[in-house]
């Protein structure tokens, strides 16, 4: 079985601080995988190192079986990694449609088709088509960020904290698209603090704690595993 | 007076091209390009050289100037910006200043120290409208500036390349993570900025001539216009350009608008000399900043908190 | 380290010898002249470092002060026949006065607005110099400025003038050295690197910027006056933007914070074009190319390059033994937990663009208690801390410290009244040692001022006291061993501790900690908890923002929970942990529903 | 055959080396602003100086050293200090930039080295420095002729004066307004324009509103061309009498002949082919080398430097000898006769030239010799 994403003993350091410690994980084609853990566990660091915004200090990173450590971020994106960052980071001065257009590397007709497809996933975006990014609400921005990441027709989608700052209702609206996306053939890595929801929408999960992988398994099992909650929430 | 208003508009049109280019680079890189004034000089000499060699009007020479300036702007970004992109912003300040000395000295060596006259955009002469003679050059300057600003607008709002350039300007890291080649985009942005400045050089070279040492004055005016309008705001850049042009033309001509006042107090005349007007410009700038520390239009991108 | 420890002093000695022997070897009158001029510009650049280097503001008015001073000196000498000490003093005074005048509208501007506004000052002065012909001689300038004459002795051209000017260079370097080495210099450093952190340590960045701006202007005054008396003419060229550019280039090429960098920069920028004059017009191209090459090779200037190749040796931390004990508010140990609130927040509301980051939040802290603020990401916890410390101004509501309203004060003033804090994203100064990062918190307590730093003797007593105080605090948090280490090389957890130590060093009554346990391993967390308990036992009141419930479980005596900016629960930890709304906010509605089902 | 040729070569080599032995070697420093805002005038100066060295009297072995004085006030003084100590340097060419010359004067005095500067700005010869030699007519001289032409020949008395706010412009304005008032004229409008200012339509509109009889100008090349062009464009039919820069070929080439119609200018020197052999040689060589007629700065520099070279050729062996020669001898150059007055002013002739509207070459209309200030 060839994994769409595989890391072997991946470590990332900020200066002398180890942010990720010898992390080994994999993602299969078409599955949704959750990365869960409290603040500072290293979820964002892992996501950023996969897309190429952070350099590995050691270990291997394979995308679709090929070593991509030497590939720069913008080329990794073109290889088929979609990225929706923490804090959404939609382009504030671009309209919704423009935000989508700039992320597509297909021809104009295909881009139009993709955009329409996005609008069917999140109809709210169609209504705001001409609005500038910064005028959207947090939830709309999050939808836009997810769609934008899908515009390059990625085979792997990285979602970093899509629920951050969203109301529970909006969180549901965004997160419940994940199984759909995965089913359509795009593997998803979801970094989430919201443990329950993350486990609800994914197939498997990795639990991180201060840069180290502490638990992994099928999401359904982890949901009922009491040690997950303990690791995650401490004493609650 | 109508004539003067018209001249102001024409001057502001050319300055806007400068200020817009300056702001484009600023937004894309976060760096101040102090060689921007030298782009005017190089563009002006290019236009003057081509114009006298080919004996063609500016509008025909323009595409060559634009292309040449794009290359020069792109090269400049590779030398003066790219190696320093992760360094303190003030390094780019100095490197672009050094580049401006290099560009202007090279111009001096190639073209000599004499002022040169550029070709008129369409033709010289004037059109009589009522009792006002409208200079064809001024008219075509406004026209050309409007065309170029519109072209710039179309590129940035209608083409995918332009939209990506804007995306890079707004969030470089995110643009990179979405598959855009940020470095190439920055080179292109410098190229477009240089091309716009070169076009302004073509306009100035006919009306005001061009000498190798002109860069600094254009640079300072651009800097004032861009800052006054609001750091990073394109709309602000145009308004800033209008402001600077008004202080250059309208303020010194105020005595004509109110002759009685100045007639009564002859000493007032000195307050409207061109030199005094420049002083007023800086004082007005301080006043604007006192009340609006972020310039007239504020920062370009508003963030939702 | 050991290699550079030997090489650096050697290099310094060689540099000094080279500097001294330069005019001896290159002793033609022309070389002496250039060396003299380089000295004048070295003073200008050393002065510029105060505003551009020490506090990191891109001021473009240094050239204007330089030119103005030259004019004052020249006009007084030529038109009024003033002697050198008079014209010299007057030049400096005029520059400082103008700096005061300019700083009122200009100093509050940020970065490029500041840069351009200061540039405008120079442009206006230039135009005035050209236009006011009766006073300034107009564009051609005023000639016949005499060589300096001191106590009836004429300073002749050549060697005497060179030594005269370089005496001032030495003097300027000494002043700069004094300002940089003391506690005041440390504070400047913090202001440059992190003005927000400076405010949290009761340091007012504005007043430091103001002082540095004036000092820069005064030094430009010295340089300008010497320039007028050296080249013996004053003209608008002295006010030209090119002078400012040259000054900026010297500071950037030499290194913006090292005194010797300014001197090296001045020597280089004055000499480089002269060495290349043989190339006629092309010398400008070569000079500029060399400058760009230096920028690329040595981004932090020549001084920075030397630092990179040969890292400076850290001065050893002071031995705290043998120093008199210091009054320590928290160590009195008499302040027991009491029922009077030390900090009270009343109906605090803060909105960002229509979104309530805080909505009507009220609670109070008892002296010596350890309170925790919990809540999911984005619930408004950090906003709450920022409102209390004055980093944000609340839209409505009141904040009372010991009964007094502090909501309208600046954050440095609030810090001075006894509110210490740490930051979620650490705000330490990476290129300073741990000890100095902590010691700078004594700035207010030691009443360090610019004036006093001129008078520092063999060592700065204030800095020594601050350091030994800091050392004691470090000892208390168990970081004594790391005192001499640069913060940049610390592990994340250690940095958190340093920030806490720094806040304690401020000697606050209330300490606000923003996610102190984030990124700490379990042992570190346990140690931190013990430390915080010990601090509370001494009467310090703690407010902790934290996600880590495990960490808080046994630590906090009181807890409040925020969600979407609203206070949804308040009480003892055990009660909070059972609160349904809290669980819901944290774990999500579904799970809460399942849990109750 | 080949052998014979070799002998011939050897013989010529011998001959020339023996000639060399009798030559006087000297270094001629040419200090001029060849970069920056005065690069145009400075380059003319340099061209004139180079031509003088090329035409130097036989028997002089000249090494020239070109140093850019740039734009800084001390640029000239630094350069002079660099060359002054040299034993083979008898004098130095100094910039036309008055401020730089003023800064050079103390250095010249200290080294007792004559400096030759083609500047018109007043104060440089008012400092009582015996080593200062002005190659260009003092502004008091050229502006006296300027005003005399306007008042006596054109019979115009209500003048508007435009000038650049440089040392050159301000000095010209000062003398023009002073003299005009003395002869009963009136300055009804005047304005100083920054050298870098471009848009001057406000100034011209005010000028037009003041309704002067004549426009007098003291500006640098690009500025004066702009004024002339815009006056023509606005169809303002007022006679223009400008300063020498409008007579410079580089300036005229910026304009159409029609725009220049009726424009006159004061100039230090005016050369016409056929006057004498030396003039023809200078003009021909200059035109073939630079593709344009020499302007006043090139001519005055050529004459002045040649005068100093003649002094050395004539036996001057020291800086002091050169100073004596320069201050006492009358010398006939291609442009005029030079004779130093007590202050070191060498040139006292001024010409007035006018454009006829058909060509870019102005015609001589009036020559004023031995002009004194008012």
Q: Is residue C513 part of a domain?
A: no
Which chain B residue shows the shortest CA-CA distance from A151?
A: B178
pLDDT at C306 over 60: yes
Over residues D189-210, the mean pLDDT reads 87
CA distance D34 to chain B (A): 8
Tokens found for residue C374:
């919990």
Candidate from D71, D123, D169 with C-beta closest to C143: D123
Least confident of A114-128, C344-358, D49-63: C344-358
Supply the pTM of this predicted model: 0.87
Nearest chain A Cα distance for residue B175, angstroms: 8
The residues near C475 (Cβ < 8 Å, ≥ 6 apart) are: none
- Region of C475 (left: φ > 0; alpha: ψ -120 to 50; beta: rest) is alpha
* Residue A226 at interface with chain C, using a CB cutoff of 8 Å: no
The mean pLDDT of D19-32, rounded to a whole number, is 78
Residues of C with CB below 8 A from B295's CB? 113
DSSP-assigned letter for residue B80 = I
pLDDT of D104 reads 92
Return the CATH number at D146: 3.40.50.2300
What is the DSSP code string of C312-379?
PPPPPPPP-TTSPP---GGGG------SSEEEEEEEEEEEETTEEEEEEEEEEEETT-EEEEE-STTS
pLDDT over 70 at C81, yes or no = yes
Report, in angstroms and rounded to the nearest whole number, the Rg of chain B calculated over CA atoms. Answer: 20
How far is C95 from C518, CA to CA, in rounded Å?
50
Looking at residue B267, its pLDDT comes to: 63
Q: Which residues of D232-259 are buried (b: 16+ CB within 10 A; e: fewer)?
A: bbbeeebbbbbbbbbbbbbbbebbeeeb
Q: How far is C286 from chain B (nearest CA, A)?
A: 8
In a domain, D373, yes or no: no
Q: Is the pLDDT reported for residue A40 higher than 70? A: no
Is D6 within the bounds of a domain? no
- Residue D16: predicted pLDDT: 47
Q: Which two tokens stand for residue A64?
A: 């679709």
D151 & D259 share domain: yes
Separation between Cα atoms, residue D320 and residue D112, nearest integer Å: 7
User: What does the pLDDT average to over C366-393?
Assistant: 84
pLDDT at C326: 43
As a whole number of Å, the CA-based R_g of chain C is 28
The whole-number average pLDDT for the span A207-235 is 77
Report residue C140: phi and psi, to 5°: -80, -20
Domain end (from C178, C210, C241): C241
- Which residue of chain C comes nearest to A169, CA vs CA? C589
Considering only alpha carbons, which residue of chain B is nearest residue A79? B179
Cross-chain CB nearest to B176 (options A73, A148, A152) = A73
What pLDDT sits at residue B300? 40
Beta strands in C226-319 (DSSP E): 233-234
Contact B83 C123 (CB under 8 A): no
pLDDT at position D215 is 94
pLDDT > 50? residue A149: yes
Band of the pLDDT at C595, cuts 50, 70, 90? very low
pLDDT of the residue at B30: 82
Q: What is the pLDDT of residue C583?
A: 72
pLDDT of residue C295: 85
Using the predicted structure, report yes or no on whether residue A110 has a pLDDT greater than 90.
yes
pLDDT of residue C341: 81
Q: Does any domain span residue D12?
A: no
Tokens in use for B174? Answer: 């995110």
Got the DSSP string for D335-372?
Answer: S-EEE--TT-B----EEEEE--SS-SS-EEEEEE-S--
In this predicted structure, what is the pLDDT of residue B138? 82
D50-63 average pLDDT score: 90
Q: Which domain holds residue C557?
A: 340-412+536-597
Contact B116 D254 (CB under 8 A): yes
CATH topology of domain A5-88+153-232: Rossmann fold (3.40.50)
Mean pLDDT of C171-188: 90
What the block records as the tokens of D142 is: 């050229």
Statement to judge: residues C402 and C425 lie in one domain: no
pLDDT in tens, B286-300: 888 878 777 777 654
Q: Which residues pair with D331 in a beta bridge?
A: D338
pLDDT score at B260: 65
Kindly state whether D32 is in contact with chain C, defined as any CB-CB distance less than 8 angstroms: no
How many residue contacts between A and C have a Cβ separation below 8 Å? 62
- A106 close to C (CB below 8 A): no
DSSP C440: G
**Per-residue pLDDT averaged across B142-162, rounded?**
89
Q: Say which range, C264-273, C387-396, C488-497, D279-288, has the weakest mean pLDDT.
A: C488-497
The chain-wide mean pLDDT, for chain C, equals 83
| pLDDT at position D371 | 77
State how far the Cα of A160 lies from the Cα of A83, in Å rounded to an integer: 8
Residues of chain B with Cβ-Cβ distance to C124 below 8 Å are 279, 282-283
Within C26-137, residue ranges assigned H as helices are: 29-48, 62-79, 84-106, 111-131, 133-136
Counted domains in chain C: 3
The whole-angstrom separation of Cα C54 and Cα C185 is 8
Q: Is residue D224 very low, low, confident or very high in pLDDT (cuts 50, 70, 90)?
A: very high
Q: In chain A, at which residue ranges do the beta strands (DSSP E only) sit? A: 5-14, 17-27, 32-36, 58-63, 66-67, 81-84, 156-160, 187-192, 204-209, 212-218
How confident is the model over B109-118, as pLDDT tens digits?
Answer: 999 888 888 8
**Cα separations (Å) of A55 from A21, C230, D29, D149?**
14, 55, 59, 80
Taking only the tens place, the pLDDT of each residue in B228-258 is: 887 778 888 888 999 899 998 888 888 777 7
Residue C488 touches chain A, beta carbons under 8 Å:
yes
Q: Rounded to a whole number, what is the distance in Å from the CA of A219 to chain B's nearest CA?
A: 28
Does residue C79 share a domain with residue C204?
yes
Contact C281 D82 (CB under 8 A): no
Residues of A in contact with B170 (CB under 8 A): 91-94
For residues C428-451, give the mean pLDDT: 86
Report which of residues B228 and D5 the model is more confident about: B228
- What is residue C296's predicted lDDT score, i.e. its pLDDT? 87
pLDDT higher than 90, residue D46 = yes
Provide the pLDDT for residue D32. Answer: 93
Helices (H), chain B: 2-29, 36-54, 58-76, 89-111, 136-158, 160-170, 172-177, 182-207, 215-229, 234-249, 254-257, 259-264, 274-291
Nearest to D103 among C139, C157, C232 (CB): C232
Check CB contact of B274 with chain C, cutoff 8 Å. Answer: no
* Integer CA distances (angstroms), D5 to C369, D13, D17, D18, D214, in order: 112, 12, 18, 20, 70
pLDDT of B67 higher than 90: yes
Angle at the Cα of C299 from the Cα atoms of C216 and B41, rounded to 5 degrees: 80
Mean predicted confidence (pLDDT) in C354-370: 83
Chain D contact partners (≥3 CB pairs within 8 A):
B, C
Query: Tens of pLDDT along C230-257?
Result: 999 899 988 888 899 889 889 888 888 8
d(CA A17, CA A57): 11
Instruction: Name the pLDDT band for A78 (thresholds 50, 70, 90).
Output: very high
Q: C348 with C488, same domain?
A: no
- In the sheet where A204-209 sits, what is the strand order? A81-84, A156-160, A187-192, A32-36, A204-209, A212-218
Dist. CA A79–CA A68, nearest whole Å: 10
The average pLDDT across D207-234 equals 90
For residue D43, give the nearest of B20, B115, A114, A102 by alpha carbon.
B115
C481: domain CATH number?
3.40.50.300
Position C328 confidence tier, pLDDT thresholds 50, 70, 90: very low
* E strands, C367-470, in order: 370-374, 396-401, 404-405, 419-421
Name every chain A residue with its beta carbon within 8 A of the beta carbon of B160.
101-102
Residue C477 confidence (pLDDT): 83
Which H helix or E strand runs over C14?
A: helix C2-25
| Residue B204 to residue D198, Cβ atoms within 8 A | yes
Q: Is the pLDDT of residue C549 over 90?
A: no
Q: Examine residue C83 and state whether it is found in any structural domain, yes or no.
A: yes
Domain that holds residue D61: 18-138+274-349
* Pair C427, C386 in one domain: no
Per the DSSP assignment, residues forming a β-bridge with C154 are C149
ipTM exceeding cut-off 0.90 for this assembly: no
| pLDDT the model gives residue B88 | 79
In chain D, how many domains are there? 2
Residue D94 CA to residue D79 CA, distance in Å, equals 9
Average pLDDT over chain A, rounded to an integer: 86
**Average pLDDT score over residue span C304-325:** 62
In sequence order, the β-bridge partners of residue C370 are C542
Among A162-171, C157-166, D335-344, D353-362, the minimum mean pLDDT is found in: A162-171
CB contact under 8 A, B102 and C130: no
Q: Which of C241, C261, C282 is the last residue of a domain?
A: C241
pLDDT in tens, D137-158: 999 899 999 999 999 888 988 9
Q: Chain centroid to CA A33: how far?
A: 9
D240-248 mean pLDDT:
92
**pLDDT exceeds cutoff 60 at D130:** yes
CA distance B86 to chain D (A): 33
- Bridge partners of C315, per DSSP, are none
Contact between B135 and D233 under an 8 Å Cβ cutoff? The reply is yes
| Contact (Cβ atoms closer than 8 angstroms) between residue C4 and residue C312 | yes
The conformation of residue B116, written as its DSSP 8-state character, comes to B
| Subunit contact C119:B101, Cβ cutoff 8 A | no
Which positions in chain B touch C131 (Cβ < 8 Å)? Answer: 273, 275-276
Average pLDDT (C33-60) is: 91
Domain match, C371 and C425 both: no
pLDDT at B170 over 70: yes
Long-range contacts of C327-333 (CB under 8 A, 24+ apart): C328/C469, C328/C472, C328/C507, C329/C507, C329/C509, C330/C504, C330/C507, C330/C535, C330/C538, C330/C539, C330/C540, C331/C538, C332/C538, C332/C539, C333/C538, C333/C539
Q: Return the structure tokens found at C71.
A: 């004019």
Round the average pLDDT of chain D to a whole number and report it.
87
pLDDT at D80 over 50: yes
Strand partners, C341: C366
Q: What span, in angstroms and rounded, lies between the C-alpha atoms of C86 and B300?
A: 50
Can you give the pLDDT at residue A28?
92
Residue B59 backbone phi and psi in degrees, to 5: -60, -30
Contact with chain A for residue C593, Cβ under 8 A: no
Task: Tell whether D233 and D362 lie within a shared domain.
Answer: yes
D293: alpha, beta or left? (left if phi > 0; alpha if psi -120 to 50): beta
The pLDDT tens digits of the residues spanning B80-126 come to 888 888 887 788 888 998 999 999 999 999 998 888 888 888 877 77
């Amino acid at each position: 079985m060839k994994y769409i994403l595989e890391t072997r003993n991946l470590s990332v350091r900020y200066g002398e601080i180890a942010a990720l410690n010898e992390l080994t994980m994999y993602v299969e084609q078409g599955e949704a995988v959750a990365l869960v853990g409290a603040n500072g566990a290293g979820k964002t660091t892992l996501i950023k190192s996969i897309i190429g915004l952070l350099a590995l200090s050691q270990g291997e990173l394979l995308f679709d079986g090929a070593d991509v450590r030497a590939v720069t971020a913008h080329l990794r994106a073109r290889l088929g990694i979609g990225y929706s960052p923490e804090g959404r980071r939609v382009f504030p001065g671009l309209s919704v449609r423009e935000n989508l257009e700039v992320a597509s590397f297909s021809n104009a007709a295909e881009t139009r088709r993709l955009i329409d497809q996005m609008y069917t996933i999140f109809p709210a975006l169609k209504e705001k088509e001409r609005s500038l990014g910064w005028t959207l609400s947090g939830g709309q921005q999050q939808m836009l960020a997810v769609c934008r990441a899908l515009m390059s027709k990625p085979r792997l989608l990285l979602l970093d904290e899509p629920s951050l700052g969203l109301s529970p209702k909006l969180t549901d609206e965004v997160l419940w698209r994940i199984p759909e996306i995965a089913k359509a053939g795009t593997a998803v890595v979801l970094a989430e603090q919201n443990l329950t929801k993350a486990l609800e929408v994914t197939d498997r999960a990795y639990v991180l704690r201060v840069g180290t992988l502490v638990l992994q398994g099928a999401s359904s099992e982890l949901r009922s595993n009491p040690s997950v909650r303990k690791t995650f929430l401490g004493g609650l | 007076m109508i004539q003067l208003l018209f001249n102001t508009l024409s001057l502001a049109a050319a300055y806007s091209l400068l200020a817009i280019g300056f702001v484009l680079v600023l937004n894309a890189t976060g760096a101040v390009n102090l060689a921007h004034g030298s782009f005017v000089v190089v563009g002006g000499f290019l236009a003057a050289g081509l114009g006298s060699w080919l004996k063609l009007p500016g509008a025909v020479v323009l595409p060559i100037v634009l292309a040449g300036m794009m290359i020069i702007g792109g090269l400049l970004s590779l030398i003066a910006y790219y190696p320093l992109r992760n360094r303190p912003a003030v390094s780019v300040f100095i490197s672009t200043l050094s580049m401006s000395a290099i560009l202007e000295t090279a111009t001096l060596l190639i073209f000599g120290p004499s002022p040169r006259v550029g070709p008129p955009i369409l033709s010289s002469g004037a059109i009589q409208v009522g009792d006002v003679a409208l200079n064809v050059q001024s008219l075509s300057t406004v026209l050309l500036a409007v065309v170029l600003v519109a072209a710039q607008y179309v590129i940035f709002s209608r083409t995918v390349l332009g939209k990506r350039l804007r995306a890079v300007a707004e969030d470089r890291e995110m643009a990179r993570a979405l598959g855009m080649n940020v470095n190439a985009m920055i080179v292109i942005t410098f190229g477009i900025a240089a091309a716009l400045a070169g076009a302004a050089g073509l306009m100035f070279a006919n009306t005001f001539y061009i000498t190798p040492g002109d860069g600094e004055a254009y640079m300072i005016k651009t800097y004032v216009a861009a800052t006054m309008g609001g750091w990073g705001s394109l709309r602000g850049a145009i308004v800033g350009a209008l402001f600077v042009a008004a202080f250059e033309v309208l303020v010194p001509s105020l005595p004509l608008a109110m002759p009685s006042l100045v007639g009564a107090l002859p000493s007032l005349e000195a307050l409207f000399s061109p030199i005094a007007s420049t002083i007023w410009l800086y004082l007005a700038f301080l006043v604007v900043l006192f009340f609006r520390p972020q310039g007239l239009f504020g920062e370009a991108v508003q963030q939702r908190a | 380290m050991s290699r550079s420890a030997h090489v650096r002093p050697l290099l310094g000695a060689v540099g000094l010898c080279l500097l001294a022997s330069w005019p001896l070897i290159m002793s033609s009158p022309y070389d002496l002249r250039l060396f003299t001029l380089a000295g004048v510009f070295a003073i200008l650049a050393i002065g510029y470092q105060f505003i551009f280097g020490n506090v990191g503001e891109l001021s473009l008015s240094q050239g204007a002060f330089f030119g103005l001073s030259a004019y004052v000196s020249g006009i007084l000498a030529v038109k009024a026949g003033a002697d050198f000490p008079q014209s010299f003093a007057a030049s400096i005074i005029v520059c400082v006065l103008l700096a005061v005048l300019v700083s009122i509208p200009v100093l509050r501007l940020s970065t490029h607005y500041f840069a351009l506004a200061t540039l405008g000052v120079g442009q206006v002065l230039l135009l005035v110099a050209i236009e006011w012909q009766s006073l300034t001689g107009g564009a051609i300038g005023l000639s016949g400025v005499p060589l300096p004459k001191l106590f009836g002795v004429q300073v002749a051209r050549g060697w005497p003038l060179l030594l005269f000017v370089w005496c001032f260079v030495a003097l300027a370097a000494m002043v700069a050295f004094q300002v940089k080495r003391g506690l005041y210099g440390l504070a400047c450093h913090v202001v440059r690197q992190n003005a927000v952190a400076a405010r949290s340590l009761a340091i007012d960045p504005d007043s430091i910027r103001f002082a540095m701006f004036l000092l820069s202007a005064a030094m430009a005054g010295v340089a300008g006056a010497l320039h007028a008396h050296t080249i013996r003419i004053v003209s608008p060229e002295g006010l030209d933007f090119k002078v400012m550019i040259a000054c900026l280039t010297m500071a950037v090429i030499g290194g913006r914070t090292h005194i010797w960098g300014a001197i090296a920069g001045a020597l280089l920028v004055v000499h480089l074009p002269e060495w290349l004059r043989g190339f006629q017009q092309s010398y400008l191209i070569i000079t500029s190319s060399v400058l760009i090459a230096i920028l690329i090779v040595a981004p932090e200037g020549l001084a920075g390059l030397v630092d990179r190749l040969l890292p400076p040796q850290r001065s050893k931390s002071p031995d705290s033994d043998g120093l008199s004990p210091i009054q320590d508010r928290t160590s009195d140990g008499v302040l027991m937990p009491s029922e009077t609130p030390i900090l009270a927040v009343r109906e605090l509301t803060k909105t960002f663009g229509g979104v309530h980051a805080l909505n009507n939040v009220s609670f109070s802290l008892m002296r010596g208690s350890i309170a925790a603020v919990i809540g999911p990401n984005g619930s408004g916890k950090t906003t709450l801390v920022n409102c209390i410390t004055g980093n944000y101004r609340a839209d409505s509501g009141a904040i009372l410290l010991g009964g007094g309203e502090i909501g309208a004060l600046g954050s440095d003033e609030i810090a001075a009244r006894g509110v210490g804090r740490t930051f979620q994203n650490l705000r330490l100064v990476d290129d300073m040692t741990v000890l100095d990062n902590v010691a700078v918190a004594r700035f207010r307590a030691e009443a360090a001022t610019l004036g006093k730093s001129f008078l520092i003797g063999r060592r700065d007593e204030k800095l020594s006291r601050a350091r030994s105080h800091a050392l004691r605090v470090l000892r208390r948090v168990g970081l004594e061993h790391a005192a001499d280490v640069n913060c940049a090389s610390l592990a994340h957890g250690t940095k958190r501790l340093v920030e806490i130590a720094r806040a304690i060093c401020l000697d606050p009554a209330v300490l606000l900690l923003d996610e102190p346990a984030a990124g700490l391993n379990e042992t570190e967390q346990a140690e931190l908890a013990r430390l915080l308990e010990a601090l509370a036992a001494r009467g310090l009141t703690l407010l902790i923002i934290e996600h880590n419930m495990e960490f808080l479980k046994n630590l906090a005596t009181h807890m409040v929970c925020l969600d979407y900016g609203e206070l949804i629960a308040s009480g003892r930890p055990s009660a909070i942990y059972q609160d349904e709304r809290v669980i819901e906010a944290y774990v999500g509605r579904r799970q809460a529903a399942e849990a109750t089902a | 055959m080949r052998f014979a040729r070799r002998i011939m070569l050897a013989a010529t080599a011998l001959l020339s080396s023996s000639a060399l032995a009798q030559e006087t070697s000297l270094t001629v420093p040419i200090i001029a602003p060849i970069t920056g805002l005065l690069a145009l005038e400075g380059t003319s100066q340099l061209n004139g100086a180079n031509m003088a060295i090329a035409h130097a009297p036989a028997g002089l072995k000249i090494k020239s050293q070109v140093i850019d004085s740039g734009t800084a006030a001390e640029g000239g003084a630094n350069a002079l200090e660099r060359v002054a100590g040299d034993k083979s340097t008898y004098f130095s060419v100094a910039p036309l930039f008055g401020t730089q010359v003023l800064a050079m004067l103390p250095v010249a005095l200290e080294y007792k080295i004559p400096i030759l500067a083609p500047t018109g700005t007043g104060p440089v010869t008012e400092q009582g420095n015996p080593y200062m030699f002005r190659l260009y007519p003092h502004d008091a001289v050229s502006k006296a002729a300027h005003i005399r032409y306007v008042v006596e020949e054109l019979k115009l008395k209500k003048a508007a004066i435009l000038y650049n706010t440089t040392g050159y412009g301000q000095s010209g304005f000062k003398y023009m307004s002073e003299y005009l008032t003395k002869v009963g004229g009136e300055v009804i409008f005047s304005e100083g324009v920054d050298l870098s200012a471009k848009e001057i339509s406000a100034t011209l509109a005010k000028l037009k509103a003041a309704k002067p009889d004549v426009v007098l100008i003291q500006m640098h090349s690009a500025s004066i061309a702009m004024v002339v062009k815009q006056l023509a464009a606005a169809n303002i039919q007022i006679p223009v009498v400008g300063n020498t820069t409008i007579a410079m070929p580089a300036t005229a080439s910026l304009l159409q002949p029609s725009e220049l119609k009726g424009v006159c200018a004061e100039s230090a020197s005016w050369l016409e082919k056929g006057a004498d052999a030396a003039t023809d040689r200078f003009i021909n060589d200059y035109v073939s080398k630079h593709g344009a007629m020499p302007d006043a700065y090139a001519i005055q520099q050529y004459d002045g430097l040649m005068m100093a070279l003649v002094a050395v050729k004539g036996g001057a062996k020291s800086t002091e000898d050169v100073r004596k020669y320069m201050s006492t001898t009358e010398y006939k150059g291609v442009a005029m006769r030079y004779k130093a007055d007590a202050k070191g002013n060498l040139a006292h002739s001024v010409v007035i030239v006018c454009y006829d509207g058909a060509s870019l070459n102005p015609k001589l209309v009036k020559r004023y010799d031995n002009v004194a200030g008012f």
